[in-house]
Chains A and B, each alone.
Chain A
Amino acid sequence: MRIPVIFILLALQLNTFAQTNITGSLVSTDGEKPQGISILVHEKKSKNNIITFAFSDDNGKFTVDINSTLDSIGISTRSLSYRDTTIYLANKNQHTQLKLIPQVNHIKEVNVKGIPITTKEDTTTYMVGSFEKESDESIGDVIARMPGFDVDTKGKVYYQGKEIDKYYIEGLDLLERRYAIANKNLSNKAVGSVEVLHNHQPIKMLRNKFFNDGTSLNIKLKKKYTTTTRAQGSIGLPFLKYSANVTPMLFSPKNQMIASWQSNNTGNDLSTQHHPFMFSNNEIDNFDNTKTELLSISSMAPQTISNQQRYLLNNANLLSYNYLTKINEDAQFKTNISYYNDFIEEDAKVSTTYYIDSDTTYLEEITDNNFTKNSVISDFTYTLNGSEKYINNKLRFENYWDNSRQNINSSEQNEKAYIPFLSVANEFDLYQMIGKQFINFKAFIDYNHAPQKMRYQPGVFEDYLNSGEDYSEAMQLFSQDEIRTKVSASFTFKRKDWSFSTELENDYSYADLQSSIKKEGISIATDSLKNKLQWHNGEAFINEVIKYESPNLKLRFSIPFSLVYYNINDQYHNAGDHFNQFLFKPYASANWTFKYYWTSSTSLSYRKQLGNVEDLTLGYIINDYQSLNQGSTNIEQNENISISSKLEYKNPLSGWLANASYKYKLTSKDIISNQISLGDYIWQSESVYLNNDKTVHNANGTISYFMSKWQTSVELKSGYTYNDYQYMLNDVLYNTHSNVSSAEFNFNCGAWRKFLIKYSYNYTATQQTTSQSTSKYDKNEHTASLFYYPNKQLWFNINYEYNNITYSSSEIETYFGDFACSYKPNKSKFNYKLELRNIFNAETLTQYSTSDISFIENIYYLRKRELLFKVSYRF
């Protein structure tokens, strides 16, 4: 047993010898006490074999504990302000002193490259190869990964939270606002780099003269000549559900082409791509150019479910062709043509309970609607973007051949609407330098033609149109021809936190509106069934917008004045008039942030406006087989006052967020519509001069809490709306009011890495009280959804929805279920997706709504259970 004891003793001895403590002080030859100097303890033979280290304190003192069996050690100082000094000492406890000689040690500049982002002036270039990943399908996926970028599900690109201005491919703007087609379909393998053009001014002559805070993108291709195609297809049951998308592209230095064919009957609405509405400055661009529908068959489609794929029974095709050719360095010509074709079916059972003069009557209709849509939109654009002049001229043709049909109670009543529409518009934009200033001139002219009609079989309103006898067919003709022009200019002046902008605009339009009724193919000559209105309308408009923006306070005042001129000529009736009117629509808002967590905002507005000339149709018009309408002699005038206020609290430290808001709106009109019952559920409406008001109060509140430990958020919302207005029925004025209360609970849990669980509950109670009746219905909606991501290639999703709606003693329940699974093999060009929609095969969805005189139950037939298999491929 002796040996181990000796061993332990030996070990102890070694240990005690191993730990030495050296203290020391640094003294500079200039008397300073060097601070923060590195003290390295190393082997005597090599400075690189560091044993330990320390730093000198504020008094230039240091302490090192040395765990080493070496006999002697070296101590070196290293610093930027003293010469490197080394002393050698025996490895034992001791105090030492080092004298340091001041000397500035320069470190040479060190540089490496190897950053995948390079910048030159206002252009930043991202090398695509450095950002792309195996899973990327299109250039959009790569852009989404670049710092500062984001791409939304529609393919729109955002930079620093703002949508980009232009999406150039090799410096050319082929697709304008439809660039998502390229962003979603152009393969990243064809792209060499992406250039980000900061503060890019698309108009060359304004460059370096006017700041533009917008960002644009330029896609640089690897090859001068590139062709690429993306294809996607799916098939499914019941036989045969399908969807397809083929997008070929061609790029060369002088020409670019992108075409796309899409087709489906799986409930994917393609009309949004055909007529993309663009939002710029919070306003809808192009809004002026929407199609006019004078007559139409109203859609029964559910308003309350957002998932169109539950109900949209479509059969859609979209063909788009985009071609650009460069005329010279500055000028180019572009053609964009889009054709859309669709056939949409709707089936519903509508039950209406009428409350008239203490009578309650009930009407049930089984409607079968279909909508056939055919349209072409073509743009031809010439652009000259020179250093002295900018011209952009766009000529647009739009042609629609739409028609729709409604069958009620299996052909008891048949309606067919023919709603063609033609528009030819030209938009001209010019910037011209005059000395150091420039003028901007914009002119817009549009001609549109809408010869629309609606056929009723059998004939309707027999008492009025056929002396009470049944007849086979009535046809309502309604047409409008219009020419509109618009010329505008604007100017902005900024000073510190204030900005002042002035907008000037002059509009003019001429329109010709005609209507008549044909009975069994022969026009009825009676004046009271005809309209022929012609009018000239002008508007001179000046708007002054004053803004103040400081970090905590934002104010905005808008003071628009406009002078409106009308000259109306009515051939058959006395609606003709000639007048000028002055309109004023001031607006003010304030937004104030205080104590970091609180924000309050308030806005006030007043507007006085005029109704539509189209309402001056004193000759009767058949709107649908149940209603006959007559317009008013004068244009309606209305006044609006609205106040809104919101208070928000956001405390990220505690995880609590809350807000409360209140809105009030008062509308006063000088005309009210009088509904006259003609018996048998048919109605005649006429305009009556009577001041009437509508009041709306709306209050909302939200409170939410985020538990960061569980990655879980809980939210409670509630809202209340009160409406009060008047209506006229059989010459008697009534009052009505409605209350809508709602409550919502949302739960979102991401506590587990591979799962996401969501649940929400929604409750709405609606009550409408008229002098004849009170109707009340409640709705409960539960939605649960589970996502599971076992790995990068695979994901699963299950959705479950339960709705229940109660009205008096009846209760209707609906169950929905959906399942989806997606798989993308590693390094594969294929992507697979399997979807099972409407698992429980819910057939109908019930919705309730109320009007002044009725309560309506709409039972809508949904898409049946479907199984879809989708494959995507690119080459």
Chain B
Amino acid sequence: MKKLHILLSLFALSTLNINSQTYKVIDTLEYLATYSYEFLTDSTNKSSIKFQEMHLLMGQNQSVFQHSSKILIDSLIIAYKDEDPKVAFLKIMSMSNGNRCSLFTQYRIVKHKTSFNTELYEKVGKLPIVVKENNKLNWQLFPKDTIKILGFTCYKATTQLSGRKYTAWYTSEIPINDGPYKFKGLPGLIMKLSDNTNSHCFELTSLTPFKNCMPIYLTKENYKELSQEEYNNAKKVDLLNKMKRYTNPANSSASPEKLARMEARMQRENNYIEKY
């Protein structure tokens, strides 16, 4: 049973605290890239595939990689700031169109244009956290390997990040040094990226230029700094904790056998993009 997704959704909702959210503008949006993100939550089970739509918001100096529901929710929260929170909530939820965020894509990743510093912002449970890293990726180029994606000639490049090997396809026809997740450092936008087990795949589905000075927001919080490993552990514990609340025998009629199978599944659904 896909109890997990209830949890994920609860999580998504819990992060949507309208009046607690205060925002700061970190940049102005110039290009918005949309990536489809397919990943296996359980690497041994091909049917555990999840589909998420992700956004890469590129500004002049920084870019933010986040789930596609966030841009809308952020701007709506700001727009409905003075409304009755319940009404605002309903309006926002209705406009987010059922495109809700999975537990595995709750983060916002900020990358800086002229350095390799990345910051991952997220709320684990109720705690706002940040993971700061300097990810200078060592890319190997294969200029002879090319494919066409959306009419652009893309070149192959490979690299490694936290226990996985990745193949990226970038195009120098779009001279933006950026890409999905924490990936950047190629002379052109990364159009497609997947790890060699094919359990995490990003592919560009659209790219839109913006001219009307749309701000890029980041929530203002008192972020606690964690290492990537601490972050991964915290996510696992948080997930288990949410599952426990959900599987409380008092409010569940599931047989012990089914609960156990579900728990087993929860424990297998840990195919995080970064391995430790």
Contact = CB atoms under 8 A, between A and B. Distances in A.
B267 A750 contact: yes
Given A133-B47, A149-B5, A198-B93, A713 B141 contact: no
Given A78-B175, A124-B98, A652-B234, A750 B264 contact: yes
Contacts of B97: 119, 124, 198
B162 interface: no
26 contacts: A38-B175, A52-B141, A78-B187, A79-B175, A80-B30, A112-B206, A115-B36, A117-B99, A147-B50, A147-B102, A150-B4, A150-B9, A151-B1, A152-B1, A154-B253, A160-B13, A198-B94, A199-B93, A213-B89, A494-B86, A552-B20, A654-B237, A657-B237, A708-B237, A753-B44, A785-B256
B196 interface: no
Tell me which of B99, B114, B252, B257 has the highest count of chain A C-beta atoms within 10 A of its own C-beta: B257
A748 B5 CA distance: 21
Contact of B187 (A38, A150, A756): A38
A758 B207 CA distance: 49
Given A106-B209, A150-B5, A160-B12, A497 B253 contact: no
B9 A159 contact: yes
Interface string A539-582: 00000000000111000000000000000000000000000000
A611 interface: no
B5 A111 contact: no
Contact of A122 (B2, B94, B150): B94
Nearest to A57: B114
B208 A496 contact: no
B263 A748 contact: yes
A211 interface: yes
Contact of B234 (A58, A307, A551, A653): A653
Contact of B114 (A58, A148, A158, A789): A58
B146 to A, nearest CB: 8
A550 B264 CA distance: 36
B6 A158 contact: yes
Contacts of A152: 1, 3, 252-254
Interface residues of A, number: 91
A150 B20 contact: no
Interface string B46-60: 010011110000000
Interface string B1-34: 1111111111011000101100000000011000
B113 interface: yes
Tell me which of B1, B84, B97 has the highest count of chain A C-beta atoms within 10 A of its own C-beta: B97
A199 B187 CA distance: 45
B237 A161 contact: no
Contact of B270 (A122, A550, A711): A711
Given A160-B13, A787-B261, A115 B205 contact: yes
A750 B268 contact: yes
Contact of A112 (B9, B146, B150, B255): B150
A799 to B, nearest CB: 8
Nearest to B89: A213
Interface in A513-557: 550-552
A7 interface: no
A151 B3 CA distance: 7
Given A116-B51, A758-B260, A148 B13 contact: no
A51 B127 contact: no
Interface in B191-210: 204-209
Given A124-B98, A787-B261, A797-B257, A115 B53 contact: yes
B89 to A, nearest CB: 8
A286 interface: no
Secondary structure class of chain A's binding surface, majority of residues: loop
Interface string A477-492: 0000000000000000
Tell me which of A651, A708, A756 has the highest count of chain B C-beta atoms within 10 A of its own C-beta: A708
Interface of A: 35-40, 48-53, 55, 57-58, 78-80, 105-107, 109-112, 114-117, 119, 122, 124, 133, 135, 144-145, 147-154, 158-161, 196, 198-199, 211, 213, 306-307, 494-497, 499, 550-552, 593, 596-597, 650-655, 657, 706, 708-709, 711, 713, 748, 750, 753, 756, 758, 785, 787, 789, 792, 795, 797, 799, 820
Contacts of B10: 160-161
Given A80-B175, A116-B51, A551-B20, A196 B98 contact: yes
A50 B207 contact: no
Contacts of B51: 116-117, 147
A494 B255 contact: no
Contact of B206 (A38, A110, A495): A110
A653 B172 CA distance: 41
Nearest to A126: B98
Contact of A652 (B3, B174, B238): B238
B75 to A, nearest CB: 17
A183 B209 CA distance: 44
A787 B260 contact: yes
A37 B7 CA distance: 43
B48 to A, nearest CB: 9
A40 B172 contact: yes
A36 B127 contact: no
A78 B241 contact: no
Nearest to A711: B267
Contacts of B12: 160
B155 interface: yes
A584 to B, nearest CB: 29
A630 to B, nearest CB: 38
Contacts of B174: 107
A753 B240 CA distance: 17
Nearest to B255: A153
Contacts of A653: 124, 127, 224, 226, 230, 233-234, 237
B236 A53 contact: no
Nearest to A791: B44
B150 A110 contact: yes
B153 interface: yes
Contacts of B17: 551
Given A119-B99, A657-B237, A756-B263, 11 more contacts: A78-B187, A110-B208, A115-B53, A119-B97, A150-B2, A152-B253, A153-B254, A160-B12, A198-B93, A597-B125, A706-B236
